[in-house]
Structure 1
């Protein structure tokens, strides 16, 4: 297997950029509410297709390294920017506000993408690779829609939010009350427009190289920037996560958990995996939230496990 490394990443950036510009097909998927931006690349003899369901604030521009790497390992790759982020349409006048009318809207979009794009272009084995909020969206899609995926690999899935110093019950109550009083499109307390936090203060990764590249990408094109969440998004996320206890997946699930995650709640991942009949959870030591953008030792361990998981599926 080929693994991209921090040491070579900067020197390989021109090759990755060229691949992203010339080989990754990019287009728009029209919906009733606006256009969803997506990309795909299919090697001639692909062993399987990886459909990436990205996290909050993310989009396909951020995943250039991983898409290139997967392609070099002979995987077809499909990825869509969720509504309200990346280059897809945004609901509110202030494009920085993280908002969704219903959390299920994300999975509805993903189902449309799967039906109209992925399934028409690729008929072989398919695996979902979901990260953070994308993990919750993938789980929602797989439990509500008919599909032909062989398995799902989730990196730091958002099955509950890590509310830091605020008691979770209080955070839920505040979001619900704010929405009742019509503040659903207002930033939640402490949230604001896009702000590039210094690497030394970030909660996402311990790879300075990958963190700097992510921030440079967003600095270069302000259209990619997204700020904090609104009370509406928060309330919808809490409401959705409360429904997870009743859900059962019909396909193999692998959850990669980050030991030092301060974005999502790892206990919720453990609880959900225990309720599934065919699920594995592995915690990656010393890892922060973004396992797919971590330093090499962690990231390679995660991707190695991902490739093993793919190979184990029929």
Structure 2
């Protein structure tokens, strides 16, 4: 079991955190970090969003520890300090969206090898919500799940949607599937956004923390997605939309100011989820676990209550 760096100074998570390198079934190196908790009620598997990394969830890990849970977070392939898939490491890329499930398999095997406290629970944010939904449908053994602004659809104008589908579908045939998707940038969003107009958080302190993490560890930064990532993610979201919700207790949070993922897709999915509940957070933006303290506390209190009820 190979030890990996954990940048504890920027994670601000519970004490005693550690990280390891894992190898996936297709030979890629990814990173996983976990925070132990004495006498934990269970372990929460944190599936981050696109561009994110283990340390970004140190505050979430602390919130979960305060409520009695150990936690584990992952650097997906192509981001954080896991293996990047392009020579230009600033572009987010994946061969097939289903490849992320190989990362999930490696994480579960690792959690079992460490004998992390059971039962397991799931938190999936944004892209991690898409990966997590597929994993649940394929039988991921968790007792309950929380989704935060899950990427079950992407906000695009009616006029842009056929262009995005068409251009990304042709990209491989014409040899530009590794190019940035239209309107995207190589610089990380949080480094080029201004706080007053950002789409992530209402909390200035958290916004500064997110920026500070990338200034302190520039290798963690990631820019926009490739055309290939765009196409394979659109196809995955469509495939998932055709399948019924899994029989797993679930709570989903959606901010009323969400500007990245598609609220209509989230509302439709949760309407048909047996035992599922949707909570719309007034004023919430995309990164609700990193929003104002009252929003964060509400989310983690309700999430812990769901997990407690399903242990």
TM-score by structure 2 length? 0.90
Aligned to 2:220: 224
Give 1:194's match in structure 2, choosing from 187, 192, 195. 187
SS in 2 for 1:179: coil
Aligned to 1:185: 178
Give 2:247's match in structure 1, choosing from 235, 247, 250. 250
Partners of 1:78 and 1:118 within 8 A in 2: no
Aligned to 1:205: 201
Task: Flag the 1:254–1:112 CA change in 2: closer, same or farther, 3 A.
Answer: same
Task: Flag the 1:42–1:62 CA change in 2: closer, same or farther, 3 A.
Answer: same
Partners of 1:164 and 1:262 within 8 A in 2: no
CA distance in 2, matches of 1:21, 1:194: 30
CA distance in 1, matches of 2:65, 2:267: 31
C-alpha deviation, 1:137, in angstroms: 0.5
Aligned to 2:3: none
The 5 Å alignment of 1:124-273 reads 124-144=118-138, 146-164=139-157, 166-195=159-188, 196=191, 197-247=193-243, 248-273=245-270
Segment of structure 1 superposing worse, 299-308 or 128-137: 299-308
Partners of 1:258 and 1:284 within 8 A in 2: yes
CA distance in 1, matches of 2:153, 2:271: 15
Task: Flag the 1:21–1:34 CA change in 2: closer, same or farther, 3 A.
Answer: farther
C-alpha deviation, 1:163, in angstroms: 1.7
CA distance in 1, matches of 2:103, 2:80: 14
Deviations 1:207-254 (A, max 9, x none): 110011011110111100100011000000100001112323121121
RMSD of Structure 2 on Structure 1 (CA): 2.0
SS in 2 for 1:203: coil
Deviations 1:247-303 (A, max 9, x none): 231211211111110000010011112232221111111110111001112222212
Partners of 1:108 and 1:141 within 8 A in 2: no
Aligned residues: 299
CA distance in 1, matches of 2:199, 2:122: 25
SS in 2 for 1:29: strand
C-alpha deviation, 1:131, in angstroms: 0.3
Partners of 1:244 and 1:272 within 8 A in 2: no
Give 1:308's match in structure 2, choosing from 296, 305, 309. 305
Partners of 1:16 and 1:68 within 8 A in 2: no
C-alpha deviation, 1:193, in angstroms: 1.0
Give 2:65's match in structure 1, choosing from 51, 67, 71. 71
Aligned to 2:84: 90
Partners of 1:207 and 1:295 within 8 A in 2: yes
Task: Flag the 1:118–1:161 CA change in 2: closer, same or farther, 3 A.
Answer: farther
Aligned to 1:298: 295
Task: Flag the 1:237–1:266 CA change in 2: closer, same or farther, 3 A.
Answer: same
CA distance in 1, matches of 2:27, 2:19: 20
TM-score by structure 1 length? 0.89
Deviating runs (4+, > 6 A) in structure 1?
A: none
C-alpha deviation, 1:173, in angstroms: 1.9
Aligned to 2:93: 99
Aligned to 1:109: 103
